[in-house]
């Protein structure tokens, strides 16, 4: 059974810092991995999707890496802003691409 | 593009009431829709997967007679929580996916509170 773990559970940083969120998964037979953002009481916004054959994806100040063999992914946020404050969720898609398994998330607070 | 609308966004009702939540894909046809539940400070847990025109596939531990799912068209799926009780209070989120192995697109969720 696939399990996804995210560390840290919560993070508070001053504005402008670069930060790294970590995600690990137990079964390396994945189709892809996604990072989502969730604002309080809201649904999910997809940030980055990395296919199993890829090593990283970038979008603006966000960079996500994937090391499938070791079961790890990181989300790097450069020059953090208060507007980045949210919960960040990592999810892996099973080998058949039909089921997302989520981590518990990292609650990020960027202080101005 | 790829907008998923979920309605209602918030429901408060008495114990024993049945509650229906709608999930619509507004600008694409969703061959597959997914229903998730999220308890406070916990992650999303998949409840069931539904394909248009066929019965939903429920995850282990999810009561299919309690959580009725209908996916009658390529743009609409409904989740009915039957005879809801306080322990059913949660945040329910749907997602929809076009045909093939495409990313899921998520609705904004429904906060269900049973008194």
Q: What is the pLDDT of residues A74-106, one digit of tens each?
A: 999 999 999 999 999 999 998 766 789 999 999
Residue A83 phi/psi, 5-degree rounding, is: -65, -10
Neighbour-count burial of B94, counting CB atoms closer than 10 A to its CB (0-12 exposed, 13-18 middle, 19+ buried): buried
Mean pLDDT of A12-22: 97
Mean pLDDT of A51-55: 93
pLDDT band at residue B47 using 50, 70 and 90 as cut-offs: very high
pLDDT of residue A95: 72
pLDDT of residue A101: 93
Interface residues of A toward B, Cβ cutoff 8 Å, are 4, 31, 34, 36, 41-46, 49, 89, 91, 96-105
Rg (CA), chain A: 13
Are the Cβ atoms of B103 and A34 closer than 8 angstroms? yes
Q: What is the interface size between A and B, counted as CB pairs within 8 Å?
A: 48
Check: CB of residue B31 under 8 Å from CB of residue B52. Answer: yes
Q: What is the pLDDT of residues B53-103, one digit of tens each?
A: 888 999 999 999 999 999 888 999 999 999 999 999 999 999 998 876 678
- Number of helices followed by number of strands (H, E) in chain B: 0, 11
pLDDT band at residue A22 using 50, 70 and 90 as cut-offs: very high
Q: What percent of chain B clears pLDDT 90, i.e. is strictly above it?
A: 74
Q: What percent of chain A clears pLDDT 90, i.e. is strictly above it?
A: 88
Count other C-beta atoms under 10 Å from residue B39's C-beta: 11
Contacts of B108 in chain A (CB under 8 A): 42-43
Mean pLDDT of B33-44: 90
Neighbouring C-alpha atoms within 13 Å toward the C-beta of B14: 1
Q: What is the token pair recorded at A45?
A: 């916004």
pLDDT of residue A97: 65
Report d(CA B13, CA B88) in Å as an integer: 11
């Amino acid at each position: 059974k696939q399990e996804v773990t995210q560390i840290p559970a919560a993070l508070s940083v001053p504005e402008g810092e670069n930060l790294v969120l970590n995600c690990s998964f137990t079964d390396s037979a994945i189709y892809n991995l996604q990072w989502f953002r969730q604002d309080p009481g809201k649904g999910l916004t997809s940030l980055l999707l990395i296919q199993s054959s890829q090593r990283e994806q970038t979008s603006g100040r966000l960079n996500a890496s994937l090391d499938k063999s070791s079961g790890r992914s990181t989300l790097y946020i450069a020059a953090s802003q208060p507007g980045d404050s949210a919960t960040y969720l990592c999810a892996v898609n099973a080998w058949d691409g039909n089921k997302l398994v989520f981590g518990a998330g990292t609650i990020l607070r960027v202080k101005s | 593009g790829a907008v998923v609308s979920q309605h209602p966004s918030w429901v408060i009702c008495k114990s024993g009431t049945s509650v229906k939540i709608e999930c619509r894909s507004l600008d694409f046809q969703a061959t597959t829709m997914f229903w998730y539940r999220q308890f406070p400070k916990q992650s999303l847990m998949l409840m069931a997967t539904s394909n248009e025109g066929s019965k939903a596939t429920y995850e282990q531990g999810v009561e299919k007679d309690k959580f009725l799912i209908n996916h009658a068209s390529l743009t609409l799926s409904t989740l009915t929580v039957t005879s809801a009780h306080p322990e059913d209070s949660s945040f329910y989120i749907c997602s929809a996916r076009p045909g093939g192995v495409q990313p899921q697109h998520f609705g904004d969720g429904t906060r269900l509170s049973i008194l």
